[in-house]
Structure 1
Amino acid sequence: MRVAIIHDELMRRGGAEQVVLTMLKAFPDADIYTIAYNSEGTYPEYKEYKEKINTSSFQIFSKSIKLMQKFYFPWGIIAMKAVKVTDYDIVIISNTHCAKYVNIDSKALVFIYTYTPFRLAWNPSSYSQYNNAKGVFKWIFDKVISCLKYIDFKAALRGDYFLAMTEETAQRIKDAYKVDDIKIIQPDVKTRNFYVSKQPGDYYLVVSRLEHYKKVDLAIEAFNELGLKLIVVGNGTKAAELKAMAKNNIEFKSGLSSKELADLYANCKAFVFPQHEDYGITPLEANASGRPVIAYGKGGVLETMIPYDVHESKCTAVFFNDQTAESLINAVKTAEHLIFDPAFIRKHAELFDENVFIKQFKSFVEEKYEEHSSSVIKSH
């Protein structure tokens, strides 16, 4: 049984790239296809699979996320559509945008694990560039988006089975691609990479790409007023802007090792998660470190966190209901007076461990492949 795994791009460190690493544990002999690969930009574990990674002609832009994004339309799409994935029994597509654009022969059974439908096509308002565009630029943006919707929808038709992270993302997939039967398998957290500290420190923590929709500015605004220590880990197009608005109680870090990041998780007072995220691996990483989460109560956290009501020892998070600095400030003040149970929080995170994902994912793919093979044999 030959297996191929296709992922949008391997140029950064994010939750989707972690999921692919877990997929590779489920199918270790799989070949990997992607628009571009940057060994220094993404997780170092991918170096173990270097000989199996196949890239598109768009690899020339792999040293820069900004260049990739700048020339993605139309050159990235054209490059990905030219990639041929043939002679495989199973093709697993891990994607938000371009992974499903490749050429797949009719022989393969195709599984599409969609984190969320392509944001630029189906939710353009999540990008500040779109919101700020005016006049002819807005007209051009809308034309590009209309084209992307057509390409994205047509490519999705090749999927035999769709998988989603949560009920919310499953509904988005249904709305965008008009499919009904969607299997939900929640992404994993690699609990072995994190530990519980006996004596956490005095700071709060954000780990995020520094982009508009991540709402890190909300956390900075809140902690500017609170005056409490906040460490922000990450990089992105909004880095300079966010650093400029932050007061001296806020520190920025990037390019950390796995050990350095685990130490920051283990020793924070709480993890701050201000965005509406499709799923959110980082809150589970905080939980795997025995630390509570202060989160905007929408999206994936509704399915992964246990919110505080009256039992502080039996919760993993404090939610705030409005995506405002004031609402976040009130949640931080609430958390300041609670006594959490690190052992309970860690045990909760273990429900989402990678071994759980591997078992569910591998079982689903193999079961559907056996059903498919049996039907092919019967038809002959």
Structure 2
Amino acid sequence: MMKVAIVHDELMRRGGAEQVVMTMLKAFPQADVFTLAYNPEGTYPEYRDYKITTSKLQFLSKSVKWMQRLYFPFGVMAMKALKVHGYDVVLISNTHSAKYVNIDRNALVFIYTYTPFRLAWNPTSYSQYNTSKGISRWIFNQVVGVLRKIDKKAAQRGDYYLGMTEETAQRIRDAYGVTDIKLIPPDVKTKNFHVSSKPKEYYLLVSRLEYYKKADLAIEAFNKLGLKLIVVGNGTKAEELKQLAENNIDFRKGLSSEELAELYANCKALIFPQHEDYGITPLEANASGRPVIAYGVGGVLETMIPFTNDATKATAIFFKEQTVESLIEAVKLSEHLEFNPAFIRSNAERFDENVFKEELEKFVLQKYNEQK
């Protein structure tokens, strides 16, 4: 019997990558899980059903903020010391640290990369980097230089690379020099969402509240529009964003899956202001029969059907510029359109978890059998 290990960066929050790992575990239910740090309260409760081995950074990572602060160099060192031995297949779910683990030479290694590590390959996506000056910027650049070297070196251990979209595949090629990449788009668990017959009068934003997610853009737009916006999520920018928001904007966090599904089903549309590598939340909104108002770049170009002249054959409205004015224009347009919830739901079903599970399982087993 093929023995499988699944390695993920960290299990401390609820995000799209953590959902992908849950589907990986459905494809390989006997797999053991390894990660930098694990917080049962911060991530999805389903992980409590699995054996999870953490690095030594677990003892210091009591929150996402501390995990991020200690990541370089302690997180890197901790992952390099984490032994993933005795497995035929190691399936790595990775953006930053998962590929650093200590793996047997004879294991077959699959690296599913969401995007190359942002701090190394796209440091301007961090506000801390952008605001740094003088000696602070110099230190940042030294860290970035070191991270690029160790990140690229660790990437070479993969026997097979998997990616989400053609855009992210090109980033992998550029960063790591990898040429052959199997594309398997992340899944949406459509069974967890339902369509409402009578949506309510609010818009929805579901996101980690971090700098590059651009929640501030949505808040500023809805401050001007005066329409109700519900923001679901948490992150290092949470308090700052709450200070920015007017009374028509409501913040929520720690919701159950059922509570979140209810918010999706009854919203007028999901607001998606960021340039995302893929984006699970637009597909969750579609699984609920609801359209998306999205910045028209990145992953949404491959998952959404944009409105041109017939809203009944569309799943999203794209705004062209990442500005408050452009988003406001798109929201105002949505107020005059009638979308088809059944058509929108059918779009999400193209990316259902069973599709991802079957494609991943087939690919891994095929390559494993070829090696025998």
Give TM-score, length-normalised by structure 2: 0.99
Contact 1:90/1:110 (8 A) holds in 2 = yes
> Unpaired segments of 5 or more residues in structure 2?
none
Give deviations 1:125-182, integer Å, cap 9, x for gaps. Answer: 0000000000000000000010000110010010000000000000000000001100
Instruction: Provide the C-alpha distance between the structure 2 equivalents of 1:67 and 1:318, rounded to a whole number of angstroms.
Output: 38
* 2:172 pairs with 1:173: yes
Give deviations 1:287-319, integer Å, cap 9, x for gaps. Answer: 000000000000000000000001110100000
Contact 1:11/1:62 (8 A) holds in 2 = no
The residue number in structure 2 matching 1:237 is: 236
**How much does 1:372 deviate?**
1.5
Instruction: Provide the C-alpha distance between the structure 1 equivalents of 2:68 and 2:215, rounded to a whole number of angstroms.
Output: 21
Question: Secondary structure of the residue that 2:277 maps to in structure 1?
Answer: coil
Question: Secondary structure of the residue that 1:291 maps to in structure 2?
Answer: coil
**How much does 1:233 deviate?**
0.5
Output aligned runs, 1:137-156, within 5 Å: 137-156=136-155
Instruction: Provide the C-alpha distance between the structure 2 equivalents of 1:190 and 1:336, rounded to a whole number of angstroms.
Output: 28
Residue identity matched to 1:17: E
**How much does 1:275 deviate?**
0.1
Which stretches of structure 1, 4 residues or longer, exceed 4 Å deviation after superposition? none
Instruction: Provide the C-alpha distance between the structure 1 equivalents of 2:97 and 2:249, rounded to a whole number of angstroms.
Output: 36
Instruction: Provide the C-alpha distance between the structure 1 equivalents of 2:99 and 2:32, rounded to a whole number of angstroms.
Output: 15
The residue number in structure 2 matching 1:108 is: 107
Contact 1:36/1:61 (8 A) holds in 2 = no
RMSD: 0.6
Instruction: Provide the C-alpha distance between the structure 1 equivalents of 2:208 and 2:247, rounded to a whole number of angstroms.
Output: 21
Instruction: Provide the C-alpha distance between the structure 1 equivalents of 2:62 and 2:16, rounded to a whole number of angstroms.
Output: 20
Give TM-score, length-normalised by structure 1: 0.97
Output aligned runs, 1:338-349, within 5 Å: 338-349=337-348
**How much does 1:7 deviate?**
0.3
* 2:34 pairs with 1:33: yes
The residue number in structure 2 matching 1:378 is: none
Instruction: Provide the C-alpha distance between the structure 2 equivalents of 1:148 and 1:303, rounded to a whole number of angstroms.
Output: 30
Instruction: Provide the C-alpha distance between the structure 2 equivalents of 1:118 and 1:3, rounded to a whole number of angstroms.
Output: 24
Output aligned runs, 1:277-288, within 5 Å: 277-288=276-287
Contact 1:6/1:34 (8 A) holds in 2 = yes
Identity of aligned residues (%): 72
Residue identity matched to 1:325: V
The residue number in structure 2 matching 1:7 is: 8
Instruction: Provide the C-alpha distance between the structure 1 equivalents of 2:217 and 2:371, rounded to a whole number of angstroms.
Output: 49
**How much does 1:87 deviate?**
1.4
> Unpaired segments of 5 or more residues in structure 1?
374-380
The residue number in structure 2 matching 1:312 is: 311
The residue number in structure 1 matching 2:366 is: 367
The residue number in structure 2 matching 1:376 is: none
* 2:269 pairs with 1:270: yes
The residue number in structure 1 matching 2:157 is: 158
Question: Secondary structure of the residue that 1:352 maps to in structure 2?
Answer: coil
The residue number in structure 2 matching 1:224 is: 223
Residue identity matched to 1:318: I
Residue identity matched to 1:144: V
The residue number in structure 1 matching 2:199 is: 200
Instruction: Provide the C-alpha distance between the structure 1 equivalents of 2:310 and 2:15, rounded to a whole number of angstroms.
Output: 32
Give deviations 1:14-66, integer Å, cap 9, x for gaps. Answer: 000000000000000001100111100000000111xx211111111332111
**How much does 1:371 deviate?**
1.1
Contact 1:87/1:107 (8 A) holds in 2 = no
The residue number in structure 1 matching 2:329 is: 330
Residue identity matched to 1:317: A
Give deviations 1:184-205, integer Å, cap 9, x for gaps. Answer: 0000000011000010000000
Instruction: Provide the C-alpha distance between the structure 1 equivalents of 2:265 and 2:316, rounded to a whole number of angstroms.
Output: 15
Question: Secondary structure of the residue that 1:364 maps to in structure 2?
Answer: helix
Give deviations 1:86-118, integer Å, cap 9, x for gaps. Answer: 111110000100000011111111000000000
Instruction: Provide the C-alpha distance between the structure 1 equivalents of 2:360 and 2:338, rounded to a whole number of angstroms.
Output: 36
Question: Secondary structure of the residue that 1:33 maps to in structure 2?
Answer: strand
The residue number in structure 2 matching 1:129 is: 128
Contact 1:312/1:338 (8 A) holds in 2 = yes
Question: Secondary structure of the residue that 2:110 maps to in structure 1?
Answer: strand
The residue number in structure 2 matching 1:184 is: 183
Instruction: Provide the C-alpha distance between the structure 2 equivalents of 1:372 and 1:323, rounded to a whole number of angstroms.
Output: 47
The residue number in structure 1 matching 2:209 is: 210
Residue identity matched to 1:13: R
Residue identity matched to 1:239: A
Instruction: Provide the C-alpha distance between the structure 2 equivalents of 1:118 and 1:245, rounded to a whole number of angstroms.
Output: 29
Instruction: Provide the C-alpha distance between the structure 2 equivalents of 1:24 and 1:169, rounded to a whole number of angstroms.
Output: 23
How many residues matched?
A: 371
